[in-house]
Structure 1
């Protein structure tokens, strides 16, 4: 989508409406924030901060203090965003608050760029206990907490129910599809067969698409083939050669054998990818996430009714008959610059920006999932069929590793898949190149080859 190639800034000065002139002794507390979207539907990641400032300022003004927030909302790619904030930290120009993917914490914390939030959370046990415990694991580095979870999600397959109907499926079979995936009765290769049939009958342009850029989605294909990508006990990345070869063979099958996905998939771009499901150009999006629902509605013009009637979603099927399905969650988290002079106030600000009222506002606006237990118990959250079902997927979820080389692993995995799809490398050659690159990158750091 075009918005993903743009970025725009919001410069927010939060002022109380009843202040006419500033007191000479009023202490201004400047705070800068850099927030990633990238999807426009997640603007609440910034606007929730703005609202939190307004609330805090009501009490701070009694002390003759006022926060002024200058915030920027970035809608470019995660890769561009990562390059930007790493350069900013290295040049000591980073903002006070940033919203990043949790996998970057280890790299930043290991260099001393991030404030350790553990002491603040120990002094605020009520808020700490309200977050889902597993989310704290996603923001830890060497047993210290360096981030506040802002949202989470689950990865999923999206598919067109009306296309399945056109294939002759009765409603009972269509409605049972997600549970059949969950039971391991439908595998990745069954998905391919269904996609081939729909494509051959001219019901869709292509049977299957996947995201055109690197991302954590590709990790869940490793677990689909009963593989692993980390040794959590020792914090080592793992090259599971058997599972990786199965992954590369799967993508080879999609493009070169069944021809159900274009070999130039990587070059199609987000604009093509984002419109494919809502405009019925494909049957399956195999790298979807819960946030896509609101993108389909707000950005692609689907109504809620059309989405519910025509679009289905399910867990990531196993690659093996009878195997467990999988999914993956990628929390985005607020981090605090260790150089900031306002850590105490920033912590209070982040707790307010992620409180249940703001948590649920973001969930409804962007179809991300709640990070707090109390939010998930709200009647309005529990009555939402999409969020309720997506939340149930969390029992199958995992996180990508909090490891310094995770991003490199992710990028090399994507490049290997791209090489297979383009025909430049065979699956076996892709595995050998991936393994060699990872070993080279790891240097003296241990990486396990399984």
Structure 2
């Protein structure tokens, strides 16, 4: 299970670099930082240059290019022109090193979980204009929480996903389920009638009857998302501290039981979504715990990248999806995510900020959000975008968009990565060493006490 440990350790790279880890090689664009000024567009034209780090995934860069055009239409009457100065995209380590050298882009995209360490490293600044921005006036409260940290807004949420469970319809049919029962499963999860334990039992039965080869597959090593199913949230936002609670034993008990029954195999950490998508398409996996974009990954694994109609027909015949069920009868389902944020660099002053704000707000225009959904498989973040006719035609996306109202995200607390490493060590001990839930919890607790600063964690 070295891959499990290595993957978990890779989550702490940002924290480690703050402590002095060696940098990767890299260079930055030799471009002057974008301060407002007049240049080359006539005496009466004010050119505002905004440096933006490239991010080509999905439609992110395309949306910035289009947003630049729209901002300039807005500003034409004011005699102002915004010009994007593209900087190359770089990793977290280089962000820190370049910031230390005085080079920081005005705008860049990173994960919501990165807010804490980025702020502490001086890479970003507060953007409290987000609170009153017309873009976010109708978003769920969960989005508001995601964008805030210790009383301030530090980013504008750029896209979103949820974490549905994709289940083999064929396997359920093999267990004797009718179409009516299968189609009603999501409603039972929403009402708390169908629990996580029920799902484990079904996976166990499907595997024992050789309807599938694997009971559960999980995206990457995002095992901590299952904590939410058991009401174990690991984080106190009011105190900005991680929480090590005895509820973790309930989660470890699930792992131990699932391993004993063969629902989860030792190599679960080796089956990332790239491998799981073709396996699920072939019918080898009973339940895949993944993000929204797994829907699109299965389409590509099916060879139907450009055949959306054919894929939708295949999906209805072969797959049913549900939210992650609660572990308790009558409980609420859960979902977790790692959304992207648009961040603003520390050198943007009060004079430039209004133009940066306008650019970001246009990036989040409803139609541009949907362009990104089509290209990436991510969900749009505003109700206005979800009302777009193109989005409404995407049945899967439209139907599961309600999950984002209760989707939790990884906390931006800088010690989170180290904390989760300890949790993952406990999972690894169960998977590879046959340890009990109590033994795994003791290992987790010991690691947290050793590696997470005492004033940044609550141990119950």
Give the drift of 1:140.
Answer: 1.5
Say if 1:350 and 1:408 are closer, same or farther in 2 by CA, change over 3 A.
same
Encode CA deviations 1:32-81: one digit per residue, 9 max, x unaligned: 314385xxxxx11222112212333456678474514426568xxxxxx4
User: What does residue 52 of structure 2 align with?
Assistant: 32
Encode CA deviations 1:96-116: one digit per residue, 9 max, x unaligned: 322122121122113332122
User: What does residue 7 of structure 2 align with?
Assistant: none
**Matches for 1:365-380 after TM superposition, within 5 Å:** 365-380=375-390
User: What does residue 262 of structure 2 align with?
Assistant: 259
Say if 1:83 and 1:420 are closer, same or farther in 2 by CA, change over 3 A.
farther
**Matches for 1:13-412 after TM superposition, within 5 Å:** 27=47, 29=49, 31-35=51-55, 37=57, 43-58=58-73, 63=79, 65=81, 67-70=83-86, 81-118=91-128, 120-121=129-130, 125-213=133-221, 215=222, 218-241=223-246, 243-255=247-259, 257-286=260-289, 288-298=290-300, 300-302=302-304, 303-340=311-348, 342-412=352-422
Distance in 2 between residues matched to 1:30 and 1:125, nearest whole Å: 20
SS at match of 1:116: coil
Say if 1:350 and 1:423 are closer, same or farther in 2 by CA, change over 3 A.
same
Distance in 1 between residues matched to 2:104 and 2:383, nearest whole Å: 32
TM-score by length of 2: 0.80
Query: Is the deviation greater in 138-147 or in 45-54?
Result: 45-54
Give the drift of 1:83.
Answer: 4.2
TM-score by length of 1: 0.81
Distance in 2 between residues matched to 1:95 and 1:177, nearest whole Å: 47
Say if 1:32 and 1:395 are closer, same or farther in 2 by CA, change over 3 A.
closer
Give the drift of 1:270.
Answer: 4.3
Number of aligned residues: 411
Encode CA deviations 1:263-303: one digit per residue, 9 max, x unaligned: 022234443223232232201012x1122212222455341
Contact residue 281 and residue 301 of structure 2 kept, 8 A: no
Encode CA deviations 1:424-445: one digit per residue, 9 max, x unaligned: 6433222112122223333242
SS at match of 1:135: helix
Contact residue 53 and residue 69 of structure 1 kept, 8 A: no
Distance in 1 between residues matched to 2:207 and 2:345, nearest whole Å: 50
Encode CA deviations 1:388-415: one digit per residue, 9 max, x unaligned: 3212223433333232212222333233
Q: Which runs of 5+ in 2 are unaligned?
A: 1-28, 30-39, 305-310
SS at match of 2:342: strand
Distance in 1 between residues matched to 2:98 and 2:278, nearest whole Å: 34
Encode CA deviations 1:173-206: one digit per residue, 9 max, x unaligned: 1111212222333222222222222223332221
Encode CA deviations 1:294-313: one digit per residue, 9 max, x unaligned: 22224553412212321111
Contact residue 248 and residue 441 of structure 2 kept, 8 A: yes
User: What does residue 78 of structure 1 align with?
Assistant: none
Query: Is the deviation greater in 160-169 or in 384-393?
Result: 384-393
Say if 1:374 and 1:32 are closer, same or farther in 2 by CA, change over 3 A.
closer
SS at match of 2:282: coil
Give the drift of 1:229.
Answer: 1.6
Q: CA RMSD in A?
A: 2.9
